[in-house]
Chain A
Amino acid sequence: MTDRGTVRGQATTGRDGTTPQGVTTFMAESCSLPFCKGCGHGHVLRKLNDAMVRLRLDPSKVSLVTDIGCIGLADSLFSLPHTVHTTHGRSTAFATGIELADAVLADSRLKTIVMIGDGGAMIGLLHLVNAALLNVDVTVILCNNYLFGMTGGQNSAFSPLDFITSTTPRGNMIPPLDVCGLMTGSNAGFVARKLATDPDLGDTIADAIAHPGFSMVEVVELCTEFGARRNRLSGTVLRGIVESHGQSLGVLTSGTARGEFGTVYSGKFPPNGEKAGGRGDGFILRKFNATLDRRFGIVIGGSAGEKVQSAAATLCEAAAMSGLHSSQKNDNPVTQGTGFSLAEVCLDPSVVEYTGIDSPDAVIVASDAGAAQLTAGGIFGRCRPDTLVVCDADVRIPDSPGTIVRPALRKTFGPTRAALGALAFALGRLGLFPSSAFIEAIRRRDADLAGMIEGKAGKLASPEDTSSTP
């Protein structure tokens, strides 16, 4: 930003993005307008230029974002502001991105102006809505000429009832969208509908740009090539068309108590906050020695809401405290809060490569829902004789070659601690790493819980039971 203010005739930009002297025009001095004879677009753009000059905007702090369509040619006519010619309908979204980023930059105070037609507004309605909701400092000039001019005069969502277009040869049967109503409903702070022929159009555009936060001016025009001729209309009937749909003209909404996006955001998240990327905390260091000398796969099945996956995470944490690598894969129904909850954990003294468990070394069954899902996945059939299956005493599971143990997990530990208790119990028998590592991993989260698990797991009755049903 070293040469800010070097624009001809312009001093340093003030905090409000204006300059004391300003420039005389933002447009190319030699530009010839590419629009059809009688088209209002050129007139609207000159009013926009007048407004920017009058507001003494610093051209380097203005971005003009244009859509597709005739009005989208506007960028090529402005030689001073930044111009971004975008894809169809998305201009407001690109503009929103520019302003969102601007909100967190130290030299922020960019004014972003979108030039869009009714076709672009139709395809990008959601972007208009969201820009209004966010209240980014974007001004949308929506040039509504009731149809798609550049592609041959097809109807848009803005075409009046009974309007003849190339694609509504017997007259449009769908009422037009009240985009100003939509913007008002989207909490836009400044909304106006003007005729291109209104003498105060430039004033309204200037007011819209000066408004801090989102603003929109719908400028109603008639496409001379496809609108006026086919419908035998002239510009003088525009007011009647607008009013026939119950739509109002003028500034419809002006001024809200809502803060512009950047102000609100920096209030919640002050600039230059924490610099750390979150890498300085929460490391697990090695405190125990594992005895495990091969990959070990544990599958845990239980019910949603019963802390199955967090029990598995505690297992991995304890393993890491013992110098073991781990992987943990979770599974649950898409609704998340109901049905089964599964976790598959691989422990390995080396890096875990393949994370699948084709034949489990241990299976924990904490609930009926878990048993059903494990059964559906064929887990019990894939057990080996040395696979330890720890299943709640009251849960039914199918026959399995594994070594089945049936402690009263749910009664002893409670439903939400059954998986955790089962793991503590299983680890005591498996000897993969010291049981104290698991208890310490629990203690890091909840000291009371660690005491409870340690006490109950140690005393848990463990009836050997190779039959599949209680």
Chain B
Amino acid sequence: MIPSTEAGWKVRLRNGNQMVAEGAAASGCRFFAGYPITPASGIYKGMIDNLQRRGDLAISSPDEISALAYCVGASMRGVKAMTATSGPGWALMIETLQYALMTETPLVIAVVQRLGPSTGGATQGAQGDILLTEYCTSGGYTVPVFTPSTAAECFELTVHAFSWSETLRTPVIILLDKEVAMTTESVDYTILHTPPVANRVVHHGARNGAAGGGGDRNGGGSTRMYDFTDIADVPPFIPVGGPLKVTATGSAHNKSGELRKNDPETLEMLRHLEEKILSRAAEMETIAADPQEGAGTLVLSFGITARAAREAVRKARAAGHATSFINLKTLFPVPEASLRTAASGVDRVVIAEENMHGQYRGVIRHLFPGADVRGVNRVGSMITPDEILGAIV
């Protein structure tokens, strides 16, 4: 039997956590602060190994709150920063995530899902943090969330996450599940995809603050902290320690970074936080679609469950059921247009995810009016191909 990958075969045995760490290094990440937690500890260890020998900074933090706060400080100083955690640690990070979003500070957080609630099951897989990661902000701002289903996708989507975090100046989550994070796989590097690496655009304006303006902060003609025209523009970044003055606050603020209440510019800033992301939703999208002509059913899944789904779709097709499939590597912003297009013509949409009620199904089912939307869900162990097949045929 000749392997299907005859064209090239340079393999490493790697798990998802290790590939996240490799992806971060390939992205130019220079800062990692970590606190151990199963099943995310492998990323922490991988970053210690990858960054320290390069002379970059990887360090332990005394808790998850500190870990993310260190990352925010480091990113404000101008370096690409990352941390990794799981449900209990993520709960502690949510305040600081909002701060990063509000101050337009890029960073990447790898959240590796395990069984919840509370400490739940540290070594048991789950896909139950979809809503907890996305809807973690007061005000319901969009946090980009990418979900790898293989070790190779962990690499690819970590690079993707860094690039979009830097491009948008916003925190981005790469949402793994324990099975993807801790299962070691043969990864063929000859076909490993590296998305484009983006770096934040740094502001090169004249020094702001009082120096040139005669006393008042951000006085006449000086550079503003959030310097943009269109609401969806991403303002160029001003690093702490650079020649331009940083004025950052987690409170509502105007374009100068000054704390303000309901003035029009401050409200525009809040809408800007959302618009800069939503306006680029289509560009950010990374879904892997496998359509079939004349399909009556569309199967949607992500993470480890996408792999069972792919097998189920294969079996369904072999049995004569025309079926389309999408591995949703981007959960948020919801790839609405692509999902609507993929579902046009099908009368059934099957959404498989390893959680109790179908968290993502609840988010997207409105996109499929008239279709029979079915969930395949389970708590405590992986969904099998046959369970998904049962919903298709």
Contacts and interface: CB of A to CB of B under 8 A. Distances in A.
B209 A79 contact: yes
Interface string A403-439: 0000000000000000000000000000000000000
B216 to A, nearest CB: 6
A352 B26 CA distance: 25
B30 interface: yes
Chain A: interface size category: 35 or more
19 contacts: A61-B241, A76-B259, A80-B210, A82-B240, A82-B241, A82-B245, A84-B103, A87-B95, A94-B70, A96-B70, A110-B240, A129-B62, A289-B2, A292-B1, A313-B184, A320-B11, A349-B3, A353-B310, A355-B183
A353 B184 contact: no
Interface string A288-319: 01111100000000000000000001001101
B241 A95 contact: no
Contacts of B210: 28-29, 79-80
A82 B11 CA distance: 47
Contacts, number: 288
Interface stretch (B76-84, B267-275, B336-344): B76-84
B143 interface: no
B374 interface: no
Interface in A269-303: 269-275, 277-279, 282-286, 289-293
Contacts of B33: 97, 100
A101 B25 contact: no
Interface in A309-352: 313, 316-317, 319-320, 323-331, 334, 349-352
A18 to B, nearest CB: 15
Contacts of B61: 130
Interface string B378-393: 0000101100000000
Interface of B: 1-6, 9-13, 22, 25-26, 30-31, 33, 38, 49-50, 52-57, 59, 61-63, 65-66, 69-79, 81, 95-96, 99, 103, 122-123, 150, 179, 182-186, 189, 204, 206-207, 209-212, 214-217, 240-251, 258-259, 304, 307-308, 310-311, 382, 384-385
Residue of A59, A82, A283, A284 ringed by the most chain B CB atoms within 10 A: A82
A126 interface: yes
B9 A354 contact: no
A354 B269 CA distance: 45
A453 to B, nearest CB: 19
Contact of B13 (A76, A97, A313, A350): A313
Contact of A353 (B10, B73, B215, B308): B308
Interface string A140-176: 0000000000000000000000000000000000000
A353 B362 CA distance: 26
Interface in A242-287: 265-266, 268-275, 277-279, 282-286
Interface of A: 1-4, 6-8, 28-30, 59-61, 63, 75-76, 79-87, 90, 93-105, 107, 110, 126-127, 129-130, 265-266, 268-275, 277-279, 282-286, 289-293, 313, 316-317, 319-320, 323-331, 334, 349-356, 358
